[in-house]
Chains A and B, each alone.
Chain A
Amino acid sequence: MAQVRVTVDGVNYADDVEPRTLLVHYLRERLGKTGTLVGCDTSNCGACTVHLNGQSVKSCSVLAVQADGGEVLTIEGLARDGKLHPVQEAFNEHHALQCGYCTPGMIMQAVDLLGDNPDPDEREVREGIEGNLCRCTGYQNIVRAVQSAAQKMKPGATADAQTPASVAGGGN
């Protein structure tokens, strides 16, 4: 067993884990963070994408012990103070998800992409998310959503972006 100390979505955890435990399994099985999903075994699909110390990583390709001392952000911690992140909002507004299985990883990757490139053109968005597979949408609305979020996240963008919608409850 190896010990891991890690902050996940703002909460500190200390756990003994088998050294071979993947970060994604630690998040899902130990912490109950089941919003982060597993879609493949080969780091192709990106469904498990989270941020580790501010960078997007495929959490199926990171050992839990590699996250020791680090800070992990998952889809469940992206909304802050009850406010959705502009990328989350844009995914809803532009119908950028259907079954939702690729969505957590896709959103986390898009947030990372916009951190690196705040105003990507269509090609840059497509290349920036090519490590995340979606089987439902054909990607077109995902690209729209990412570009729309980029506009809203620009400094001095519309008031809308500064007061994002509250995290919606079930059914609405």
Chain B
Amino acid sequence: MTTTAEPTTTPSPEVGKARVRKEDARLITGRTRYTDAITPQGTLHVHVVRSPLAHAKILGVDKAEAAASPGVIGVYTATDLGVESVGLPCAWPITPDMKAPQRPLLASDTVHFAGEGVAVVVARSAAEARDAADLVDVDYEEMEPVLDMEAALAEGATLVHPDLGTNENATWVFDSGEAGTGGSVADAISAAEADPDSVVVKRRFRQQRLIPAFMEPRSCVVDPTGEQMVIYAATQIPHILRTMTTVTMGVPESKVRVIAPDVGGGFGGKIGVLPEEMLCVALAQKLRRPVKWTETRSESLLAAHHGRDQIQDITITAKRDGTVTGLDVHLLADMGAYLGLVGPGVPILGAFMFNAIYRIPALKFTCTNVFTTKTLTDAYRGAGRPEATFAIERIMDELAVELGRDPMELRQQNWIPHEEFPFTTVVGLTYDSGNYEQATDQAMATFDYAGLRREQEERRRNGDPVQLGIGISTFTEMCGLAPSRVLGSLSYGAGGWEAASVRMLATGKVEVITGASAHGQGHETAFSQIVADRLGVPFEDVEILHGDTQISPKGLDTYGSRSLAVGGPAITMAVDKVIAKAKKVAAHLLEAAEDDLEFANGSFTVRGTDKGKAIQEIAFATFMAHDLPEGMEPSLDADAVYDPENFSFPHGTHLAAVEIDTETGHVDLRKYVCVDDVGVVINPLIVEGQVHGGLAQGIAQALFEEANYDEQGTLVNGTFVDYTLPSAADLPSFDTAVVSTPATTNPLGVKGVGEAGTIASTPAIVNAVLDAVRQFGVTDIEMPTTSQRVWRAIQEAQGRATQETPVDTHSPGAGLGSIDPNNPQGEVQ
């Protein structure tokens, strides 16, 4: 049954095409399945009773009234469930002597942050569980909260976990002099101090606490009926959650199936192993019924992990001609009350990015992680790299001011020129590719940098009440987490590979299974494009399966801009194995030698003839298995696991122009231009969308968002009224573009784009704000740079007294519209 291959019409390649997403069809019609929509017959509902206090002894829990409330099945403390000794995992012991407290499912003796669970109520409906939770009477003896990182480290400080003997979790140090990857920073600083032709610039920056604030509240359903316990969870990490359920609760891994159905955003906020998830496991086991927990938004803001929260002491040394000679980084990182899954490692992920795109000969990084009685911190979009990028891009501006130089010119003088790639940096990473000149030239031209500088001069000269500020961020990041051996050297508790399988169905359709777990990124579309090209099948015929450990048994999930850079090559490796198997069948059926076959556009043809077989025909012949090569298994299916050799290093130049009303402090983002190099672009539509969303989150850190605690340790941003995500009306349209120097560290040439916008944009905005008001003597404004803070900074720099607003009486994040309670009329005092 040899058929003649169709005359070769080369279809236009899928990779690079702005395909609209195949996953949208469901999402725009409401045919969705987020976890809270899953309600197996007989499901019971769980509500967590949470501590209103940051630090308190639990003297007693009176459950009687709650237990008698309508619909209540039971009210349980950790002791009732027998889980007092269960601790949630931290997978990243950054130092051998790291101090790690037990992180319980429910507090038994002491609560360590406001929002920590103390008991759970199980009822027939969610509303009944919530009603009854209000009736649980917990008797607390209040203790002193631990809120300030520096005070927490001081002698005699109240200890969050007295058994640890300290509030210090760990101190992690990298010194390029000692590592042999660069010079000694101590030498660089003493040399600069002794040299009149050098400068030493020291600054302290504050990374405020942020909340990931994914739109879908966290939720899980645990169904114990059937042979495998099924955990449906709004998570980024179904595979890790499965393994960790075994580690935490002792359920054999083979008896646990985790399904991440539609997941409504994560941004790092859904990489945890949650106390609520493990409580649902315990409750489902105990009650032998499906149980569901879905948090309210307030619970999410209060108890889901937060991000950032660092104090950064940065010292840079340079020659007066602008050549940077050293960088010393001292961080304090707030862990909150407990350690998250990778919490202690988040600042360490930034350690290798402080040198950024620059040729810095000496670098020392010291980070001390601190326990406080606040919600724990863990990964949030960028995880370590936004913090590093902010510090280096801010200090480069400070250095430019000190030296009287144009900030872009100073960057150009110090960055790695494109002809020097591959370039091994001061921290020992090898940047494989990049072209900072190209991205910068294009961004500067689009932005009209020179024109805006002229306008800025003019406004200054005229004393315009609206001043213009221009901010620069020339960033790079490390993506594609991660080479397993590197993770091993950092004591991380897992590898960094990714898995894929390809199944050729009898009717010619292709199922591709990935261990990456999408929650909005568009994997289904992008991966389909890659497979369509490689295997020569129609885009529509490729089905991407993920997020269910029974369908996709192997994987390390989605975070750290890894899905395409690590998950992508795993898919192409599996596709190549399918093609290799199919080739044997094709040679057999075409009665030709394998060496005489060519594979293109989904067909094998015998060189020099018109004889051929399409891959779909071979799939069917393999399914039939009537006539296969001797000894060949009747299957074309293949698995592959890819472990990257190196990270990938996207970079870009981001430029912001802000207008500041000096009379009100209002910051108006007038123009934002960025040119990013993310390597080979699989789908420009998706890349643009990732950049837009990333920019919005980075800009939100600079202008809008902050999680604040009052002096009792209560989070004052417990709703979206107080934790102010930007709305459409708060943001402009961005001018985004890409250039491409393909990565050489992976076979697809891709670099990663999910975090780029967030990492790059924050310092661009803050540099712009300061650029506008530095003329008044302002030297720094803490983030978010709200109207009130900008106005106050201008007043103070001009020697006018202003009254401090207590943090707990209004929302600093709501600067665009909030009223200062001390000055409700907004009068200038």
- A138, B731: Cβ atoms closer than 8 Å: yes
Segment 506-542 of B: residues with Cβ below 8 Å from A: 519-522, 540
Across chains A and B, the number of contacting residue pairs, with CB separation under 8 Å, is 185
24 pairs, CB–CB < 8 Å, chain A vs chain B: A20-B127, A33-B30, A35-B29, A35-B31, A37-B32, A37-B216, A38-B36, A40-B719, A41-B298, A91-B24, A95-B686, A95-B689, A99-B519, A100-B24, A100-B264, A101-B216, A126-B728, A127-B729, A130-B730, A135-B697, A136-B265, A139-B727, A139-B728, A140-B733
Whether B34 is near chain A, meaning CB under 8 Å from some CB there, is: yes
Which of A63-71, A102-110, A155-163 is the contact stretch?
Answer: A102-110
Whether B215 is near chain A, meaning CB under 8 Å from some CB there, is: yes
- B20, A93: Cβ atoms closer than 8 Å: yes
Whether A143 is near chain B, meaning CB under 8 Å from some CB there, is: yes
Whether A142 is near chain B, meaning CB under 8 Å from some CB there, is: yes
- A84, B520: Cβ atoms closer than 8 Å: no
Cβ 8 A contact of A138, one of B32, B685, B695: B695
- B264, A125: Cβ atoms closer than 8 Å: no
Which residue of the partner chain A has the closest CB to B519? A99
- Given contacts A74-B30, A129-B728, A101 and B264 within 8 Å (CB-CB): yes
Segment 206-230 of B: residues with Cβ below 8 Å from A: 213-217
Whether A59 is near chain B, meaning CB under 8 Å from some CB there, is: no
Cβ 8 A contact of B728, one of A41, A44, A47, A142: A142
Segment 11-47 of B: residues with Cβ below 8 Å from A: 20-34, 36-37
- A45, B720: Cβ atoms closer than 8 Å: yes
The interface centre, meaning the residue of A79, A107, A133 with most chain B CB atoms within 10 A of its CB, is: A133
- A44, B213: Cβ atoms closer than 8 Å: no
Whether B262 is near chain A, meaning CB under 8 Å from some CB there, is: yes
A67 CA to B720 CA in the complex, in Å?
26
- B215, A134: Cβ atoms closer than 8 Å: yes
Report B720-732 CB contacts with A as 1/0, cut-off 8 Å: 1100010111110
Whether A98 is near chain B, meaning CB under 8 Å from some CB there, is: yes
CB distance from B173 to the nearest CB of A (A): 35
Whether A7 is near chain B, meaning CB under 8 Å from some CB there, is: no
Whether A171 is near chain B, meaning CB under 8 Å from some CB there, is: yes
- Given contacts A98-B689, A129-B728, A133-B725, A34 and B37 within 8 Å (CB-CB): yes
CB distance from B248 to the nearest CB of A (A): 27
Report A44-63 CB contacts with B as 1/0, cut-off 8 Å: 11010000000000000000
The interface centre, meaning the residue of A37, A136, A138, A143 with most chain B CB atoms within 10 A of its CB, is: A138
Tally chain B residues at the interface, Cβ within 8 Å: 59
Report A71-97 CB contacts with B as 1/0, cut-off 8 Å: 000111011000010001001110101
Contacts of A97 in B (CB 8 A): 24, 27-28
- B264, A99: Cβ atoms closer than 8 Å: yes
A134 CA to B262 CA in the complex, in Å?
16
Cβ 8 A contact of A133, one of B30, B33, B520, B720: B720
A18 CA to B125 CA in the complex, in Å?
12
- Given contacts A91-B28, A169-B25, A143 and B725 within 8 Å (CB-CB): no
Which residue of the partner chain A has the closest CB to B214? A135
A141 CA to B24 CA in the complex, in Å?
14
A137 CA to B689 CA in the complex, in Å?
6
Contacts of A91 in B (CB 8 A): 24, 28
Contacts of A20 in B (CB 8 A): 127
Whether A121 is near chain B, meaning CB under 8 Å from some CB there, is: no
A84 CA to B25 CA in the complex, in Å?
10
Tally chain A residues at the interface, Cβ within 8 Å: 62
**Nearest 8 CB-CB pairings of A with B:** A35-B30, A99-B520, A101-B264, A100-B27, A138-B696, A138-B692, A44-B720, A168-B25
Whether B296 is near chain A, meaning CB under 8 Å from some CB there, is: yes
Contacts of B29 in A (CB 8 A): 35, 75-76, 78-79, 84, 88, 167
Contacts of B213 in A (CB 8 A): 135
- B540, A171: Cβ atoms closer than 8 Å: yes
Report A19-42 CB contacts with B as 1/0, cut-off 8 Å: 010000100100001111111111
- B215, A102: Cβ atoms closer than 8 Å: yes
A130 CA to B725 CA in the complex, in Å?
11
- Given contacts A40-B297, A103-B27, A133-B215, A141 and B689 within 8 Å (CB-CB): yes
- Given contacts A98-B521, A135-B213, A138-B696, A92 and B20 within 8 Å (CB-CB): yes
Whether B734 is near chain A, meaning CB under 8 Å from some CB there, is: yes
Which residue of the partner chain B has the closest CB to A47? B215
Contacts of A130 in B (CB 8 A): 727-730
- A92, B693: Cβ atoms closer than 8 Å: no
Contacts of B716 in A (CB 8 A): none
CB distance from A33 to the nearest CB of B (A): 8
CB distance from B290 to the nearest CB of A (A): 15
- A135, B26: Cβ atoms closer than 8 Å: no
A57 CA to B64 CA in the complex, in Å?
40
A131 CA to B720 CA in the complex, in Å?
11
Contacts of A142 in B (CB 8 A): 728
CB distance from B283 to the nearest CB of A (A): 20
Whether A122 is near chain B, meaning CB under 8 Å from some CB there, is: yes
- Given contacts A76-B29, A131-B727, A133-B725, A39 and B217 within 8 Å (CB-CB): yes
A100 CA to B213 CA in the complex, in Å?
15
A136-B520, A139-B731 known; 14 new pairs, CB 8 Å cut-off, are: A41-B296, A44-B721, A45-B215, A79-B29, A93-B20, A95-B688, A95-B689, A98-B265, A99-B215, A99-B216, A100-B264, A122-B733, A135-B214, A135-B215
Which residue of the partner chain A has the closest CB to B730? A130
CB distance from B7 to the nearest CB of A (A): 27
Contacts of A88 in B (CB 8 A): 28-29
- B719, A92: Cβ atoms closer than 8 Å: no
Which residue of the partner chain B has the closest CB to A45? B720
Contacts of B731 in A (CB 8 A): 126, 138-140
A167 CA to B805 CA in the complex, in Å?
54
Contacts of B692 in A (CB 8 A): 137-141
Which residue of the partner chain B has the closest CB to A100? B27
- A98, B695: Cβ atoms closer than 8 Å: no
Contacts of B21 in A (CB 8 A): 92, 95
Contacts of B20 in A (CB 8 A): 92-93, 95
Contacts of A40 in B (CB 8 A): 297, 719-720
A122 CA to B25 CA in the complex, in Å?
26
Whether B263 is near chain A, meaning CB under 8 Å from some CB there, is: yes
Report A115-132 CB contacts with B as 1/0, cut-off 8 Å: 000000010011101111
The interface centre, meaning the residue of A37, A101, A139 with most chain B CB atoms within 10 A of its CB, is: A101
Contacts of B37 in A (CB 8 A): 28, 34
Contacts of A103 in B (CB 8 A): 27-28
- A44, B32: Cβ atoms closer than 8 Å: no
- B28, A135: Cβ atoms closer than 8 Å: no
- Given contacts A44-B719, A99-B265, A101-B216, A35 and B540 within 8 Å (CB-CB): no
A133 CA to B214 CA in the complex, in Å?
10
Contacts of B264 in A (CB 8 A): 37, 99-101
The interface centre, meaning the residue of A38, A40, A132 with most chain B CB atoms within 10 A of its CB, is: A40
Whether A10 is near chain B, meaning CB under 8 Å from some CB there, is: no
Whether B267 is near chain A, meaning CB under 8 Å from some CB there, is: yes
A130 CA to B216 CA in the complex, in Å?
18
Whether B677 is near chain A, meaning CB under 8 Å from some CB there, is: no
CB distance from A89 to the nearest CB of B (A): 8
Whether B543 is near chain A, meaning CB under 8 Å from some CB there, is: yes
A97 CA to B685 CA in the complex, in Å?
11
A36 CA to B686 CA in the complex, in Å?
25
A36 CA to B522 CA in the complex, in Å?
21
- B734, A140: Cβ atoms closer than 8 Å: yes
A98 CA to B31 CA in the complex, in Å?
15
CB distance from A140 to the nearest CB of B (A): 5
Contacts of B695 in A (CB 8 A): 138
Contacts of A134 in B (CB 8 A): 215, 728
Report B267-303 CB contacts with A as 1/0, cut-off 8 Å: 1000000000000000000000000000011100000
- Given contacts A45-B215, A76-B29, A171 and B686 within 8 Å (CB-CB): no
Contacts of B521 in A (CB 8 A): 98
Which residue of the partner chain A has the closest CB to B509? A171
CB distance from A40 to the nearest CB of B (A): 4
